[in-house]
Chain A
C-alpha cells in the first residue's frame, strides 16, 4: 500500500504538510510502510485484531445485549509527536494540573478565587459535581487530581487546544500500553531507526504515586483498585492495571468501612486498606454519603476518608472542575494561582448563562458544537454542522430551559492521521489524551491515547460511538539527525 494517492483535503495532517510532502518526523515511518510487500500491511492488521481478541482486550457496550464485548479498533499507523511539540504539551499539562489542584483545594476551603470575583461563585456552587460533603477536607499532600486524562485536539492551524480535563475517573491508559505491546509484537520493523519513548513505566509510576499518598502511619501501604465489576465498560483496564501494579482488584462487596478505617474480607479475616484507587464515580462511592441506592459502593467509606484512615485517588469532589462551564475558567485559574499565562489554550467557549453568548449560540446552532455541562463519552452533545433542524430545535429548547447547563464551541477541524481504510490510506480525525499523575511531583506519561473517528468525516472519537485508537509515539529529544536534516 502506497501513500501516493493520499489527500489531506485541506485539514491539518499529522503526517503530511499541506503541499503533500511528508513531515520530517514521519518520513522514515512512511518509507518503512511503503517498502512492505503487497498485502503485508493488511496481514499485520488482521494479526493485530486476532491478537487483541485472544488477549481479551475488549470493552463492554452499554445498551447492547448484556456482556457483549468488542475489541477497540486499532489502527496500525501510529501518530507521531515530535520532541519539541511534546515538551510544550508536557509543560502545559503540568501547569494546568497544578492550577486545577489549587482551585479545587481553594473552593473546598477558603474560596479565595470566588471571593476575589475571578470566577462567579454561583457557577461553582451550582455545579452538579460540586460536593458539599468535601468542604474542609484535606487529602494527603493536598492532592485532589491524582490521575488526569486531559483531552487535547488540534485545529486546522495545527495549534493544540485543551478540550476537556477529565479529572474524575479518566480511562484508556491500558490501551496506550497494550497498543504499544501489540504493535511491537506484530510489526516490530516499524520502530526501526526511530527513538520512541517507552510507555511501559506507567504502572510503576502509578503505584509509586498511590503509595506516596498513604495516610502517614502506614509503613507498607496496602493499595487496592476498586472496580464496579466485570460488567463495567472499563473492566479490562481495571484488571490490567491491578495486575500490572500487583495490587488487589476489589469490588465494593469485598470491603467494609467505618471511621476506624477500610478493611477487605480475605480468606484469613479482615485486612486493612490504606489507599484506594477507585474507578467508581463519586455518586456511587458510598451510599451513606452520596446516592443511597448505590450497590457498587462501600457504606462508611467517606467516614473512613474524613477520619484520615484511608486515601482515595482521585479525591471525591474533584469533578467540580470537569463541569464544562467551570472548564471555561481554567485559563483564569492558571493566571490566578500560577501567575502566568496558559501554555495550552482552551477551545474558545460560549457560556449560555451569559445573555450575549446565549443569543449568539442560538443563532449559530448549525455551526457550533453544543455540550451539556456534565455529560461525557460523546453523549448529550450536538455537532451543529452534522445535525438536523429537529435536533437543533431540541437543543435550543434545552438551552432556554437551563442555560447554566450548556456551553458551545466552534466546530474544530480536528487534525487527521493516515488510517487504513479498506485497502488504502485515508485521513481520519484524531484527538490525544495524555495521562498525568500528581503526587509528590507531576508526571506526564510520554505518549497517550490517540483516538480516531473511524467513520469518514466524523469528529466523534469516543469508543462508545465507533471510535478506534492508534499507538502514539513521542520521540525522544535526541531522536536521530535523520528527522531534522530537512
Chain B
C-alpha cells in the first residue's frame, strides 16, 4: 500500500524555513567580516575606513551608531559578530537558528542538530572573550560550520517537504545578501573609477567578489574584472550558487516541490510572486539594468523579495498564527475515515 508523506505542521515549516535563513545569514556576516579584514591589510591608510560599508550591508547603520559610535574595526566586529542586541549579529542568528532547530529536532536529522549545536558552542565560547583572538580564524570556523550544516542537511535528511522549506529559506536569504552587498559596494567603488588602472581598484573589486565567494568562479567566466561584468555575474548568472538568479531559481523549484504544482504554473501567491521574479531575471540583460539605474533595480528587487517572504508566511505558516478560535475542522479527504 502506498503511504503518502505526512504533511508538515505549519509551525514546523515556519521554524525550518527560518533555521535555513539564519544559518545562511551567519555565513554571510562571517564572510563579509573576514574578507574585509583581509582587504584592509592590503589597502593604504587613505582607503582605510572600509568598516562602515560592512555595517551598511546589514542594513543596521542607525542602531550601530547609537550603541557603538565610530566604525572602528573593534566596534564593527563586536556589533556584527557578538552583539546580542543586534538581531542580525552572528551571535543572535546562531542562537535563533538553534532555537528553531531545537523546536523541530524530531524533524531534522540528529547530525544536523549536532552540527548546529557545535556551531552554537563555538560562537558562545568566542563571545566570552572580549574580541576574538584571531578574527580571520574565527570567521573561517564559523563559515565552515555553516557549510558543514548545509552539507549535512543535503546528505542526512530526506529531500522532503521540510527540506524544501529549508532550501527556500536559505536561497532567499542568500539572494538577499548578495543584493545588499552589491548595492552598497557598487556605489562606494564607483567614484574610485578614477583609480582605474591602479592596483587598488582591482583589489577592491576582487574583494567584492570574494565577499560572495565568487572571485575564482568569476575569473573562469569573464577573466578581467570590470564592474559591469561583476554585476552581471552576481545578479544574472544561472550557475553561480550565490548569483541572485540562481538562488531565485532554487527557491522556485522548492516551492513547486512543496505544492506539487507543475513548473510554469502557480497555486498560491508565493509561487506566483517568485515565478514573476524568476522570469524577469531569466530574460534580463545587465546593460539594460545598469542603464535604467542599478540602485532603483536593487530597491525594486528588495521589495519583491520581501513580498515573496510575506506570501510564504500567509500561504504556509499563517494557519499556525491565526489562533484557535472558531476554526472549523476542514479534514483532508485522504485522512478521514471517521464513521
Contacts and interface: CB of A to CB of B under 8 A. Distances in A.
A267 interface: yes
B72 interface: no
B118 A248 contact: no
Contacts of B324: 253, 256, 298-299
Nearest to A235: B102
B117 A260 contact: no
A270 to B, nearest CB: 5
Contact of B332 (A243, A247, A268, A299): A268
A7 interface: no
B129 interface: no
Interface string A207-239: 000000000011110100100011000010001
Contacts of B199: none
- The 7 A-B pairs at the shortest CB distance, nearest first, are namely A242-B106, A239-B105, A266-B7, A243-B106, A268-B7, A265-B319, A56-B117
A251 interface: yes
Interface string B273-288: 0000000000000000
Given A229-B103, A253-B324, A256-B327, A264 B9 contact: yes
A53 interface: yes
Interface of A: 53-56, 217-220, 222, 225, 229-230, 235, 239-240, 242-243, 247-251, 253-254, 256, 258, 260-261, 263-272, 298-299, 309
Contacts of A270: 327, 329-332
A265 B114 CA distance: 28
B102 A239 contact: yes
Interface in B86-117: 99, 102-107, 110, 113-114, 117
Contacts of A220: 3
Nearest to A249: B106
A217 B99 contact: no
Interface of B: 3, 6-13, 99, 102-107, 110, 113-114, 117-118, 121, 161, 258, 316-317, 319-320, 324, 327, 329-332, 335-339
Given A249-B107, A263-B331, A265-B320, 18 more contacts: A54-B121, A56-B102, A56-B105, A56-B117, A220-B3, A243-B105, A243-B106, A248-B9, A248-B12, A260-B329, A261-B329, A265-B10, A269-B7, A269-B319, A269-B330, A271-B7, A271-B331, A271-B332
Given A54-B114, A261-B329, A248 B106 contact: yes
B338 A254 contact: no
Contact of A250 (B9, B99, B114, B118): B9
A309 B336 CA distance: 12
A266 B10 contact: yes
Contacts of B329: 256, 258, 260-261, 263, 270
B316 A267 contact: yes
A386 to B, nearest CB: 36
Contacts of B114: 54-56
Contacts of A225: 106
Contacts of B13: 267
A253 B11 contact: yes
A424 B319 CA distance: 57
A272 B161 contact: no
Contacts of B161: 267
B22 to A, nearest CB: 16
A230 B99 contact: yes
A310 to B, nearest CB: 11
Contacts of B103: 229-230
B11 A251 contact: yes
Contact of B320 (A54, A254, A261, A272): A254
27 contacts: A54-B114, A54-B117, A55-B117, A217-B338, A218-B337, A220-B3, A229-B103, A243-B110, A248-B9, A249-B106, A250-B9, A251-B11, A253-B320, A254-B9, A254-B10, A265-B11, A266-B8, A266-B9, A266-B319, A267-B319, A270-B327, A270-B329, A270-B331, A271-B6, A271-B7, A272-B331, A272-B336
B106 A267 contact: no
